[in-house]
Chain A
Amino acid sequence: MLQWGPMEGFLFTNNSVLSMALSNSGLILFGALLIVYGLVLGLVFVLHSNHHIYRTVVGGFAVILLLLLGILALDFSGASGSYFTFDETRELSELLSTHRWLIIQLPILLTISSIGILLTYRERISDAHAKEYRFIVQYSTCISLFTILLIALESLV
């Protein structure tokens, strides 16, 4: 089985870089999620000035939703690591010792509502009367990113 050492690099190792990357696919999805959130966060704050940008934002949210569902699917299938045996998963679930399982619902739901708002308003999201909905999209993105960072940092506690 592939082992990760404390200072193992990608260049001076006999292991295949691809197999190292694929052995922790959950981590790759999580990294990609943070990158896409970073991009979308910048774009949602210019929705009022550029009405064509909503297409890019909807695309970004769709990618975010797929990545979140992918992370969830990996966790459920137990493919993200050998420590996720069914017994331990059940024990974790019963105790709810970590609230990561709970707060992951927040970015999923907020992303769905943001997509709904943007697909309803389209170019007119930049109109004055859509101010409240624009704010909801911005607020949702900030809270979702905060939740994702909270999930990432919680493991350090």
Chain B
Amino acid sequence: MTKRIHESVALSAVLAVSFTLHFAWIANVLVYRVPEIATLFSVLPEVGPVSGLYTCSIGSFLCLFLLSLLLAKGRDLSHWRTRTLWFFMASVILFLLMTMPVVYQVGIVVE
């Protein structure tokens, strides 16, 4: 007897990671650009805003994983596989690009 595969768990994990990567780079840009957000993200004052960034990543991953799991449970997800794969690949590349200091530190001065 073959065991049933709960594809929703795998798909939810991939989707949650993809969205978390987007949250992480957006939060990083906000922390870098807005001093008030940097102060808000300093969960551990000894470490600084990085502690808030990590907390935000962990929190968003857990929330998104549970949310995706609730939405995807018991559904036919076969047509979502390829779309999720492309979204995941794009998210990873975008995260790598957007966390490069030359990208997020760039500024435009309007005179």
Size bracket, chain A contacts = 35 or more
Residues from 99 to 157 in A contacting B, C-beta threshold 8 Å: 99, 101-103, 105-106, 109-110, 112-113, 116-117, 119-122, 124, 129, 132-133, 135-136, 139, 143, 147
Contact B101 A99 (CB under 8 A): yes
Count of interface residues, chain B, beta-carbon cutoff 8 Å: 43
B13 within 8 A of A: yes
User: Which residues 1-35 of B have a CB within 8 angstroms of A?
Assistant: 2-3, 5-7, 9-10, 12-14, 16-17, 20-21, 24, 28, 31-32
Q: Which of A94, A117, A147 has a CB less than 8 Å from the CB of B13? A: A117
**B99 engages A102 (CB within 8 Å):** yes
A86 at the interface (CB under 8 A from B): yes
A13 to chain B, nearest CB (A): 35
Contact check, B7 vs A120: say whether CB atoms are below 8 A apart: yes
B96 in contact with A132 (CB, 8 Å): no
CB pair B92–A89 under 8 Å, yes or no, is no
**Which residues from A are CB-within-8-Å of B53?**
101-102
The A contact surface, by secondary structure, is helix
Per DSSP, chain B at the interface is: helix
Closest to B83 in A: A132
Query: How far does the alpha carbon of A106 sit from the alpha carbon of B92 in the complex, in Å?
Result: 8
Task: Write the nearest CB–CB distance from A112 to chain B, whole angstroms.
Answer: 7
Please state if B5 and A132 are interface contacts (CB–CB under 8 Å).
no
Which B residues are in CB contact (< 8 Å) with A76? 47
Instruction: Assess whether A93 is in contact with B13, with CB atoms less than 8 Å apart.
Output: no
Q: Decide: B7 and A102 in contact? CB cutoff 8 A.
A: no
In the bound assembly, the distance between CA atoms of A143 and B92 in angstroms comes to 8
For the complex, give the distance between the alpha carbons of A60 and B6 in Å: 23
Chain A residue nearest to B61 (CB atoms) is A109
Interface residues of A (CB under 8 A from B): 76, 86, 89-94, 96-97, 99, 101-103, 105-106, 109-110, 112-113, 116-117, 119-122, 124, 129, 132-133, 135-136, 139, 143, 147
Give B contacts to A, CB under 8 Å.
2-3, 5-7, 9-10, 12-14, 16-17, 20-21, 24, 28, 31-32, 38, 45-51, 53-54, 57, 61, 78, 81-82, 84-85, 88-89, 92, 95-96, 99-101
